[in-house]
């Protein structure tokens, strides 16, 4: 699966499309330079359990590392991923 990324002004999303339809999406805001707040993660119900949500968090972590950004996971799902993955602590605020 290819994870796409769009950002405009102080908002953005990582998402996965299939046949022109968004099947998974993780939204975030940038309240100040150098900080990303993960707001919401959603995966189509029939695709849950296939790691799409985790892959989007992983992509956000890679993006944060590349751009020297710290992440604040407000989303319950993203918080759980950060709790299970101690290797992501370098980007956690």
- Could you read off the pLDDT of 17-48 as tens digits, one per residue? 999 999 999 999 999 999 999 999 999 887 77
pLDDT value of position 17: 93
Q: What is the pTM of this model?
A: 0.91
Range of the domain at 53: 4-91
Q: What is the mean pLDDT of residues 10-19?
A: 95
Domains of the chain: total: 1
pLDDT value of position 15: 97
| Tokens representing residue 56 in the block | 């989007």
pLDDT value of position 46: 78
pLDDT value of position 44: 85
- Could you read off the pLDDT of 46-78 as tens digits, one per residue? 777 778 899 999 999 999 999 999 999 999 999
Mean pLDDT, the chain, rounded, equals 94
Residue 20 has φ and ψ, to the nearest 5°, of: 80, 5
**The CATH number of the domain where 30 resides is what?**
3.40.630.30
Q: How, if at all, do strands 4-8 and 11-18 pair?
A: antiparallel
């Amino acid at each position: 699966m290819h994870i796409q990324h769009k950002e405009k002004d102080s908002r953005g999303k990582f998402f996965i499309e299939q046949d022109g339809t968004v099947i998974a999406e993780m939204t975030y805001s940038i309240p100040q330079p150098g900080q990303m707040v993960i707001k919401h993660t959603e995966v189509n119900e029939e695709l849950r359990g296939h790691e799409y949500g985790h892959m989007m968090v992983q992509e956000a972590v890679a993006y944060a590392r590349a751009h020297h950004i710290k992440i604040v996971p407000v989303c319950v799902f993203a918080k759980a991923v950060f709790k299970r993955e101690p290797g992501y602590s370098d980007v956690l605020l």
